[in-house]
Amino acid sequence: MNALRTVVRELVGLFVEDRLFALAIALWLLATGAIAALSIGTPEIRGLVLFLGLAAVLVGGVVRGAR
């Protein structure tokens, strides 16, 4: 059972090295998905909000990683 747990942890680690970074991306995608589902704004504005939010998450992750 320990071996299976270790294998699963390693596989998850391949895709999710920084849990806070992955959580921030997932939350931002959920938020922008909700905005899109409610049809708030034009598609161009929604795309810009998605991009700017993900860029901010990326910059925040880089700054946090540099410390």
Query: 41-54 pLDDT, tens per residue?
Result: 889 999 999 999 99
Task: State which amino acid sits at residue 17.
Answer: E
Q: In this structure, are residues 57 and 28 in contact, taking their beta carbons and an 8 Å threshold? A: yes
Residue 13 has pLDDT above 80, yes or no: no
Residue 5 has pLDDT above 80, yes or no: yes
The span from the CA of 18 to the CA of 65, in Å, is 9
Residue 14 has pLDDT above 80, yes or no: no
